[in-house]
């Protein structure tokens, strides 16, 4: 069995970001970059499945510049077998990412594409669904539990009204949610071992025209100052004045 795990390089989600003065994007000066947290969960889950079934091969892929190699090496240190960097200076939007991954999936013929439900930088939550549509594969999104058996995947997914369990015939696309697992701490031996694992670099096979564009990046408005009240009656009165009650 072969599992393909796409990973995206994003600004550390715990870092404080600021827009550029001209509003053309985010000022990344001095910021740390990480694997998109949802993608790291996908890598961890693939490794856990491999620990249950040693016949599984895990391939991680990233689309972007040479700097993405850092995140691919981290995924290899977690336990992936090999990595592919699709080098491009073009910023792909969700349809572009789905198109490029579809080309790769047709070549590699994975049994499962396991990926984060969304990226923490653009929060689109689109690429997984678009990829499944392009490949005409079954899909399960927001997975909180995954079981693989033969040519079938059983996925428990989170919905607004509770949990839903689906059975999918492989190949399929599954996107991961936060409750699926907690990524492991990477020990030094894993980091050293990752240096010898294969990392292939190739050019993009597609040249998509973006369907979306960034109009402007700006910081949220400053929060209004709060006020203290002396009693419940005073609080209720203040709320009524604002039309809340």
Residue showing tokens 């030094």: 188
Total domains, the chain = 1
Cβ(158)–Cβ(193) under 8 Å? no
Pairing status of strand 172-176 against strand 139-149: parallel
Name the region of 149 (left: φ>0; alpha: ψ -120 to 50; beta: rest).
beta
pLDDT of the chain along its 245 residues, tens only?
Answer: 999 999 999 999 999 999 999 988 889 999 999 999 999 999 999 999 999 999 999 999 999 999 999 999 999 999 999 999 999 998 899 999 999 999 999 999 999 999 999 999 989 999 999 999 999 999 999 999 999 999 999 999 989 889 999 999 999 999 999 999 999 999 888 889 899 999 999 999 998 888 888 899 998 888 888 888 889 999 999 889 888 88
C-alpha span between 223 and 209 (Å, rounded)? 38
What pLDDT score was predicted for residue 227? 83
C-alpha span between 229 and 232 (Å, rounded)? 8
Cβ(44)–Cβ(184) under 8 Å? yes
User: CA dist 180 to 40, 91, 135, Å?
Assistant: 11, 29, 24
What pLDDT score was predicted for residue 126? 95
What pLDDT score was predicted for residue 180? 95
What pLDDT score was predicted for residue 226? 82
For residue 46, what are the domain limits? 2-241
What pLDDT score was predicted for residue 143? 97
Closest CA to 98 of 109, 106, 158: 106
Query: What is the SS3 assignment for 24?
Result: coil
| Residue 147, domain CATH | 3.40.50.620
Residue showing tokens 């609080």: 235
């Amino acid at each position: 069995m072969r599992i393909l795990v796409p990973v995206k390089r994003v600004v550390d989600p715990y870092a404080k970001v600021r827009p550029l003065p001209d509003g053309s994007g985010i000022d990344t000066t001095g910021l740390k970059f990480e694997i998109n947290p949802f993608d790291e969960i996908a890598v961890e889950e693939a490794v856990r499945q491999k620990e249950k079934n040693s016949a599984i091969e895990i391939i991680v892929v990233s689309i972007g510049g040479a700097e993405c190699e850092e995140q691919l090496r981290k995924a290899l240190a977690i336990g992936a077998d090999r990595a592919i960097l699709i080098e491009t200076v073009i910023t792909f939007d969700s349809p572009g990412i789905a198109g490029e991954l579809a080309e790769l999936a047709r070549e590699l013929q994975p049994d499962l594409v396991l990926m984060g439900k969304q990226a923490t930088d653009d929060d689109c939550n689109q690429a997984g669904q678009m990829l499944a549509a392009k490949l005409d594969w079954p899909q399960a999104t927001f997975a909180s539990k995954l079981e693989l058996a033969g040519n079938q995947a059983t996925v428990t997914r989170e919905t607004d009204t509770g949990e839903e369990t689906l059975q999918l015939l492989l190949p399929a696309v599954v996107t991961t949610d936060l409750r699926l697992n907690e990524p492991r701490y990477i020990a030094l031996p894993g980091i050293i071992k990752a240096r010898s694992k294969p990392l292939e670099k190739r050019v993009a096979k597609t040249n998509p025209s973006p369907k979306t564009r960034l109009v402007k990046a700006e910081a949220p408005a400053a929060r209004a100052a709060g006020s203290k009240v002396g009693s419940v009656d005073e609080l209720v009165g203040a709320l009524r004045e604002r039309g809340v009650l």
